[in-house]
Structure 1
Amino acid sequence: MFDTESIASTDIAAPRPGYPDRAALFDISIVIVSFNTRDVLRQSLQTVVQETGNLKIEVFVVDNNSRDGSVEMVHSEFPFVLALSSAVNLGFGAANNLALKQARGKYIVLLNSDAFLRPDALRLAFQHMENAPKVGLAGGRLMSRDSSWQPSARMFPSLRSDFLAMSGLAHRFRDSRFFGYSDRTWADPTEPAQVDWVPGAFSIIRADALRQVGFFDPDFFLYSEEVDLCRRIKNAGFNIMYWPDIEIIHIGGESSRQMNSFEMSHVGAQLTRWRMRSTLLYYRKHHGSTAWRAKMLELLLYKLIALRNSFSSSQESKDKVQINRKLSRLMLQAWQDTNGGRISPPRPWTLD
């Protein structure tokens, strides 16, 4: 069952700390953030329609100032959707906050516009949360179109996990509990587990948990926002769960794996800089001076990789030298952008 009201909004006021204390009117509020993703957004909404079943659901699409006709498509093809439009690109967390201020569901489902619900996903998510009152947030099993598994249940970042990931050791020894700790690549993905955080492509959140901890921290424009939210929910005494019988097709992870090599294009460099900014903001917020150590760790690794490749005359090695030197410069820029993780640059972060 859907709410048939349709609204448009350009309100980008700061979110309130949490929901007003009121009874839930819906079983689930689904929130989808879109930025120039009209065609996959249509597919995502189609799976929502297919999987609603007997659940009482309201659906929000928050458009981050798209230019591809996404809002018009939603209004014409999905009139039951509550369409919120921002005049600027707010990023992932702050855009979700626009809908969270209005959501009236007992649970909130966050769904990427390039993520598609598999059969029974919503019913199972609702049922699991009903049966596990100590769970504040949970995720499902993310898969590519070919049904291959994507990392879906993770542990909080640490300097150790950063080193293992950037050095390639985590990928090389995926079956090791030590090396594969962060992404739990050693674990059986068909087994449910209590974890630290789940990716934002799909998650179901207890509204009562958000009442306690508040919404997404808008300082995280892109990257680390779901990690921060999960940490706050865990700190409030709730559990974070991974339930593999909730299956989601996620195109984003599929696309990233198809990149055989990292090309330091202008856009790629800027997204990397954004990731670095968010990493520094996260470490400063939750671990204080560890932000400085995180910066130094990345700089050291980039320097060592560049040094190792400088002894080879192959073009591939020369390219790696240049890429890692550029990564070092990007980290120094990110450190300056955020004053060492203490401040977030004004939104929207731009591809300058």
Structure 2
Amino acid sequence: MKADIGAVIVTYQRYNELKLTIEALLSEGIGLKDIFIIDNNQGESKDQKFYTQFLGVNTIHPNENIASSGGFALGMQYVHKVGYGWALLFNDDSRPLKGALNAFYDAINTLKNKPLGLVKIANLNSNGEAIVLHWKGVRKPSYHSISNVPIESDLVTFDGCFIHKDVFDQIGYCDPSYFMGTYEFDYCLKAKDKGFKIYTLPNGLIADEKLGSQGGTPPWRQYYNTRNHLHLGIARRDLSIILAWLIREAKFTYAIFRFQDQKKRRLYLKLLAFLHALKGIRGKVII
């Protein structure tokens, strides 16, 4: 059985990478009409000429840069309203490799009696092992040999992730007020709360350039990582998350003092993030 899939790509000013991702989806059998691009490059600067080579693709231009959390939330909404059975999510710098969708079809056939919620194509580490994520108040990876046997988990990232329509029916879409970071973990935990199963396919059939991670973590991204992780713990009233946040922040603060540049800026934004989490301030604050 082949599932009906609507693909979502969130992009911002990386049209060379976006082209590769669209072409990879087409090669895997996803049609142009089944691809929804959330282009955060808003206003007059958006590249209309680029899309003429992909006539039929669905392009959505928000009125402002809503970042990854807002982009995925909007893409989920479009795919859900059209009525697809599954949404397949990608950033513009990640894409499926040959055989990825066939592996997914095989997996859901073997898991057909499970309450499937999310199925993720595993990324590989530098040793060629599949990365499977677990939740211990913070994400914790385990590493596995490459195979097509699904591994049950409780946490995934959205690049290369399939989400079943029943999840949208019951918990809606990811929370755009996270803006950047943590929204995937919040969504997975909500899905688990509703009894959905989460699996990772440890085959590594995903190309991920990780362009957003190159050159280290900028200060503004540290703000969102700090604020959103603490918010998650407060919102869920989970002391294990708050304790994990304290340990993580102590380590990162030490790293700022010892190794990182822009020390005053980074420390200021971490303090600001802490105060904003306590006050419940959400959404886009800095960038």
Inter-partner Cα distance in structure 1 for 2:242 and 2:101: 42
Query: Secondary structure of the residue that 2:203 maps to in structure 1?
Result: strand
What residue number does 2:270 align with?
331
| Contact kept in structure 2, 1:115 and 1:248, CA below 8 Å | yes
Structure 2 spans left out of the alignment, 5+ residues? none
The answer for the alignment partner of 1:158 in structure 2 is 137
Secondary structure (helix, strand or coil) at the match of 2:167 reads: helix
Please report the TM-score for the alignment, with normalisation by the length of structure 2.
0.83
Query: Structure 1 residues 303 and 70, CA, compared in 2 at 3 Å: closer, same or farther?
Result: closer
Q: CA RMSD in A?
A: 3.2
CA distances 1:159-181 after superposition (whole Å, capped 9, x unpaired)? 6x7xxxxxxxxxxxxxxxxxxxx
Match of 1:338, SS? helix
Q: Percent identical across equivalent pairs?
A: 19
Residues 42 and 63, structure 2, Cα contact 8 Å, conserved in 1? no
1:203 aligns with 2:161: yes
What is aligned with 2:75? 99
Deviates more, 1:221-230 or 1:287-296: 287-296
The residue number in structure 1 matching 2:56 is 80
1:74-223 pair list within 5 angstroms: 74-103=50-79, 104-133=83-112, 134=114, 135-143=116-124, 149=128, 152-158=131-137, 182-185=140-143, 187-190=144-147, 192-223=150-181
* Number of residue pairs the alignment of both structures matches: 279
Query: Among 12, 16, 34, which residue is 1:35 paired with?
Result: 12
**1:205: Cα distance to partner?**
0.8
CA–CA separation in structure 1 for the residues paired with 2:260 and 2:167: 46
Instruction: Give deviations 1:184-216, integer Å, cap 9, x for gaps.
Output: 14x435463111111221100111122111110
CA 1:50–1:330: 2 relative to 1, 3 Å: same
1:273 match: 223
Look up the match of 2:286: 350
Query: Following TM superposition, by how much is the alpha carbon of 1:75 offset from its aligned partner in structure 2, in angstroms?
Result: 2.4
1:244 — aligned with what?
202
Can you list the C-alpha shifts for 1:221-276, whole angstroms capped at 9, x where unaligned?
A: 111111111111111111110112360000007x74x65xx5x8xxx111111111
Query: Cα 1:188–1:36, aligned 2, differ >3 Å: closer, same or farther?
Result: same
Which of 21, 34, 47 aligns to 1:44? It is 21
Whether 1:225 aligns to 2:178 is: no
Structure index of larger Rg: 1
Q: Higher helix proportion, which one? A: 2
| Displacement of 1:102 | 2.4
How much does 1:152 deviate? Answer: 3.5
- By how many angstroms is 1:123 displaced? 2.5
Cα distance, 1:220–1:108 mapped onto 2, change above 3 Å: same
CA-CA distance at 1:149 after TM superposition = 4.0
TM-score when scaled to structure 1?
A: 0.69
Equivalent pair of 1:30/1:60 in contact (CA under 8 Å): yes
Q: CA deviation at 1:290?
A: 5.5
**Aligned counterpart, 1:176:** none
